[in-house]
Structure 1
Amino acid sequence: MNSTPLITLSDGLYIDAFVVDDHDEVIFLSLWGRDGDMQHFFAALTLPITQGGFREKAVTLPNGTTQLLSFNRIKDLKKLTTRLPKYTQVGEWVQTWLTLPALMKTQYGSQDAWLLSQQPLHWDDLWPVVKHLCHLPLLDTWKSPLAFMLGKAPFITSLNAWGIHAYRLSYEPEDIESLISDAVKHHTLSLSDLL
């Protein structure tokens, strides 16, 4: 990742990035810790709460605010783990990423895309994804006028994240068709390049 301060998740476990959806459900998590602590964490996620398991954790961010991390979708997340060299100053550490598969690859024909970036993304960065998602052909000359119409919620949403920037692009075909049709009729979008 980058030089973002680590967040303490629990004794021996630290987060350097996370993304949650609008229900505070974790959809991406980058976690560091010793192997034993990591195994204990994942075991606790599978145990009933009455036996010491848990489904959510509140973490304190470096700016002092508290963020709830819910793990109810843990079965939906893909787990990837890598180990640091065995003999380091902190002993044997592992890094684990939990990732919603949709964050890794957009399904063909989907009207949803999820984007992660270490830098904030602007409309020029999002435009190729918007064109890919839309079932209508979008002209490049429409990029600027569509920035206002499509570059805001509910079409594009910045997700609650730490240590990384995350966005969700979601387009209902009926909404896009109506919006594009009205914009062409009112000459907000020009068809002159097609003539």
Structure 2
Amino acid sequence: MNTELPPAAPELLPIVELPGVFADALLRDERGGLLFCSLWGRDTAIQELLARLSVPVEEGGLRSLHVEGPQGTETVHFDRMPTTDKLSGRLPPKNLFGNLVQLWLYDRLAVEPDRANRRALLLQRNATHGEAALWHLVRSVTHLPLLDHWNEVVLDVFRQNDWIRPLRGIQVDAVFVDLGSDAVEVEISRLVREGRLTLDTDQPASLRQAA
């Protein structure tokens, strides 16, 4: 008999500025800027939100929202609208809640890395993504020819330098990858010179994991 309980449904969090619109997932950068949010509301309320995000503040536009989160009010800033995409879907017409729409607003980095600036965002569900997905993203962003058996050493060093850093949100987490610094190439060259990165796939673990 399976006694494992099903996962709890995400809590719907009210939006202060838009009565009737709720968030069930939210992710921001270190400055509070929007990276991802999932919103629910009736069609008219969602259309009002989209309209207010597209007009100047002096005309009633919005450049930030306040979400009543489990730890208090969370402010999310819409300061990168040119790089923000949207996707929406509707519940079937015959449902208990009426004309309900789900809207996703997300930074384009979540679906398409910025290879020119070597930046990317890996969305996660409660930090459940493995290292393989992160390593694949790092290799796709960097201009350096990284070998697969370097992954442990390289990811550790990138984390130490904050070129890879975790972001915690509500019902969604992420890893932000920023390899635009010239120091990235300098660091990889140093690891090669020290023998911590070699062509040998069977290099000793003591070399791969040396401090």
Count residues in correspondence: 192
Asked if 1:67 is matched to 2:52, the reply is no
Higher relative CO (Cα under 8 Å, sequence separation at least 6) belongs to 1
Deviation track 1:5-63 (CA, whole Å, cap 9, x = no partner) reads 1211131111111222222121322110001111222233345545544322222212x
Note if contact 1:135-1:173 (Cα within 8 Å) is conserved in structure 2. Answer: no
SS of match in other structure, 1:162 = coil
Aligned counterparts of 1:17 and 1:55: Cα–Cα separation in 2: 19
Q: Which residue of 2 aligns with 1:183?
A: 191
Over the aligned positions, Cα root-mean-square deviation in angstroms equals 2.4
- In the superposition, relative to structure 1, how do residues 51 and 172 fare at CA in structure 2: closer, same or farther (>3 Å)? closer
Aligned counterparts of 1:41 and 1:164: Cα–Cα separation in 2: 22
Aligned counterparts of 2:83 and 2:58: Cα–Cα separation in 1: 23
Question: Which of 3, 17, 32 is equivalent to 2:25?
Answer: 17
Aligned counterparts of 1:175 and 1:123: Cα–Cα separation in 2: 23
Q: Which residue of 2 aligns with 1:157?
A: 165
Aligned counterparts of 1:122 and 1:153: Cα–Cα separation in 2: 20
Aligned counterparts of 2:61 and 2:198: Cα–Cα separation in 1: 58
Question: Which of 7, 12, 19 is equivalent to 1:6?
Answer: 12
- In the superposition, relative to structure 1, how do residues 104 and 141 fare at CA in structure 2: closer, same or farther (>3 Å)? closer
Q: Which residue of 2 aligns with 1:82?
A: 89
Question: Which of 132, 144, 148 is equivalent to 1:136?
Answer: 144
Aligned counterparts of 2:60 and 2:28: Cα–Cα separation in 1: 24
SS of match in other structure, 1:129 = helix
- What residue ranges of structure 1 are gaps of 5+ in the alignment? none
- In the superposition, relative to structure 1, how do residues 152 and 17 fare at CA in structure 2: closer, same or farther (>3 Å)? farther
Question: Which of 119, 124, 131 is equivalent to 1:112?
Answer: 119
Identity percentage over the alignment?
Answer: 29
Aligned counterparts of 1:53 and 1:136: Cα–Cα separation in 2: 43
Q: Which residue of 2 aligns with 1:125?
A: 133
With normalisation by structure 2, the TM-score equals 0.78
- In the superposition, relative to structure 1, how do residues 175 and 151 fare at CA in structure 2: closer, same or farther (>3 Å)? same
Q: Which residue of 2 aligns with 1:91?
A: 98
Shift of 1:156: 0.7
- What residue ranges of structure 2 are gaps of 5+ in the alignment? 1-7, 203-211
